[in-house]
């Protein structure tokens, strides 16, 4: 049994000192005690916090970070020109490449303080669009990466069938994603089998890619297919996407989901950067989780999520690194809060009367991230998975800091280099700020990058 002692920890009822956590079988927290002196046989840390899930990721995109910042021939670069470059990049990727890139991404997520990778996985087939002999080959590779990195994995196989709301065929850059509903259900079943060989905390959900990429009536089939797991879908990210859905269905995407989708707390809608005020209020009140990706949404010029109105309507949030151009927990939260301040000319926009900005956001993303991941986590509590991260109490950013100011200093003044340790379901994968298999994972990634080359 593992025992961890922390100088301070953020528990469900607030900050406590001298916290002793005992982790039992299956990586769950077996007991929790406070005001204890450090026992000799316990692993000692500074500030112990619940490690959230990274709720939205396309792992392979990590390998093209930094390659899309040039002006193209178009007068104006946009999400849509970026997407063309992304399609050209993924044409080269083999299952081996996908596995090594996913391992690097998961390692970086752990080092950033995330315990779980919720992978929105849509790169399924060979470059010519034919399935591999094993329909779930690519999903198996994401699972293999999780075995190397020790991250908690929630796999979301993605159903991507059409090139637009008019049900046009997939374009040449999209044929590696394509499945009709029947083949998707086979892929989903095969992915479930893969999880049998992974640790018991791994999970599966389902992901209709977007209202552009599936027949709208198939959304209801996905709600059935999810079983007890989560359903994720991209929603209302881009202006042109909202216009296309409205032209096809007579409703804007969020209106469509509220009218026809019966959303609940096990639905996670990604982005939601293009919502009218009544859509924000309505979707928040449905209980659905908003899967926010502030760094990627900044990078792609998606727009600003209305976090103030969302929380006023008791909305839940999760945070993901999406394109993985940067994998940084503190920077995601800082970017989210600053986007609200810049829009509203305000400060502490997402704080509550009881909790500071950093405390409210870290707790909110933990709770919403747990539902979005279909995982028994979200707080340091008896019976929950031991998804934990620790900050170095000796960091200069924490000098003289107590309580919520610890989190605000981490998010607004410091960065992820303050993280000393991370556990995922009790697996102690980050120690002294580094993943325990960092050397081997990075070596394989560098070899992969030599193979695929640096240009798009
Ligand atoms: Zn995405």
* Gap between the Cα atoms of 379 and 291, Å rounded: 19
Q: Where are the alpha helices (DSSP H) in 250-347?
A: 253-256, 277-285, 294-299, 307-312, 329-344
Measure 241 CA to ligand 1 centroid, in angstroms.
Answer: 14
Q: What is the largest CA-CA distance in the chain?
A: 67
Catalytically annotated residue among 159, 271, 397, 435: 271
* Gap between the Cα atoms of 112 and 227, Å rounded: 31
pLDDT of residue 455: 62
DSSP label at residue 218: G
| Domain spans in the chain, listed from the N-terminal domain onward | 2-50+380-440, 53-373
Element (H, E) at 84: helix 79-90
The candidate with the shortest Cα–Cα distance to 390, out of 110, 27, 160, 155, is 110
CATH 1.10.10.10 matches 2-50+380-440 = no
Task: Reply yes or no on whether 322 is catalytic.
Answer: yes
Whether 53-373 and 2-50+380-440 are alike in CATH topology: the answer is no
* Gap between the Cα atoms of 184 and 10, Å rounded: 41
pLDDT of residue 299: 94
Q: 299: left (phi > 0), else alpha (psi -120 to 50), else beta?
A: alpha
Q: How many CB atoms lie within 10 A of CB 287?
A: 15
Measure 122 CA to ligand 1 centroid, in angstroms.
Answer: 10
Measure 300 CA to ligand 1 centroid, in angstroms.
Answer: 11
Task: Reply yes or no on whether 415 is catalytic.
Answer: no
* Gap between the Cα atoms of 41 and 45, Å rounded: 13
DSSP label at residue 225: H
The stretches in the chain having pLDDT less than 50 are none
Catalytically annotated residue among 201, 302, 322, 387: 322
The CATH topology of domain 53-373 is TIM Barrel (3.20.20)
371: helix, strand or coil: helix
pLDDT of residue 250: 97
Measure 233 CA to ligand 1 centroid, in angstroms.
Answer: 9
Measure 64 CA to ligand 1 centroid, in angstroms.
Answer: 15
Give φ, ψ of 437 to 5 degrees: -110, 25
Question: Both ends of the chain: CA-CA distance in Å?
Answer: 49
pLDDT of residue 359: 98
pLDDT, tens only, 47-63: 999 999 999 999 999 99
Measure 267 CA to ligand 1 centroid, in angstroms.
Answer: 15
pLDDT of residue 68: 83
pLDDT of residue 76: 75
Measure 440 CA to ligand 1 centroid, in angstroms.
Answer: 28
Residue at token pair 């200093």: 409
The candidate with the shortest Cα–Cα distance to 59, out of 103, 96, 89, is 103
Look at the alpha carbons of 68, 74, 76, 80 in this order and tell me if their dihedral is positive or negative: negative
């Amino acid at each position: 049994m593992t025992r961890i002692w922390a100088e301070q920890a953020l528990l469900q009822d607030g900050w406590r000192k001298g916290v002793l956590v005992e982790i039992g079988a299956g990586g769950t927290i077996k007991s929790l005690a406070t005001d204890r002196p450090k026992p000799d046989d316990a692993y000692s840390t500074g500030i112990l916090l619940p490690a959230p899930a990274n709720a939205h990721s396309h792992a392979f995109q990590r390998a093209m970070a930094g390659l899309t910042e040039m002006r193209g021939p178009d007068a104006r670069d946009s999400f849509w020109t970026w997407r063309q470059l992304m399609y050209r990049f993924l044409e080269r990727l083999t299952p081996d490449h996908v596995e090594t890139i996913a391992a690097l991404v998961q390692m970086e997520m752990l080092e950033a303080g995330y315990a779980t990778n919720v992978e929105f996985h849509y790169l399924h087939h060979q470059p010519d669009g034919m399935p591999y002999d094993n329909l779930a080959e690519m999903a198996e590779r994401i699972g293999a990466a999780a075995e190397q990195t020790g991250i908690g994995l929630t796999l979301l196989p993605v159903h991507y069938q059409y090139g637009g709301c008019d049900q046009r065929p997939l374009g040449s850059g999209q044929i590696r994603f394509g499945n009709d509903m029947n083949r998707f259900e086979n892929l989903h079943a095969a992915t479930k089998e893969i999880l049998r060989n992974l640790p018991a905390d791994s999970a599966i959900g389902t992901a209709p890619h977007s209202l552009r990429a599936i027949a709208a009536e198939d959304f209801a089939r996905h709600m059935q297919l999810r079983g007890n797991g989560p359903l994720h879908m991209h929603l209302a990210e881009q202006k042109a996407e909202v216009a296309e859905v409205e032209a096809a269905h007579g409703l804007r995407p969020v209106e469509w989901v509220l009218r026809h989708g019966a959303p609940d707390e096990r639905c996670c809608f990604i982005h939601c950067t293009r919502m009218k005020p009544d859509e924000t209020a309505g979707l928040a009140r449905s209980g659905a989780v908003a899967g926010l990706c502030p760094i990627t949404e900044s990078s792609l010029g998606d727009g600003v999520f209305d976090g103030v109105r969302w929380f006023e309507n008791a909305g839940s949030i999760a945070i993901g690194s999406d394109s993985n151009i940067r994998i940084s927990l503190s920077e995601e939260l800082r970017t989210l809060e600053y986007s609200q301040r810049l829009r509203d000319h305000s400060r502490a926009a997402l704080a509550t009367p009881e909790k500071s900005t950093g405390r409210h956001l870290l707790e909110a993303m933990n709770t919403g991230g747990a539902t979005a991941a279909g995982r028994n986590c979200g707080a340091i509590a008896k019976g929950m998975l031991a998804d934990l991260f620790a900050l170095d109490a000796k960091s200069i950013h924490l000098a003289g800091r107590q309580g919520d100011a610890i989190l605000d200093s981490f998010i607004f003044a410091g960065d992820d280099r303050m993280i000393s340790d991370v556990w995922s379901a009790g697996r102690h994968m980050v120690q002294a700020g580094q993943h325990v298999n960092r050397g081997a994972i990075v070596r394989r990634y560098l070899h992969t990058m030599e193979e695929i080359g640096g240009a798009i």
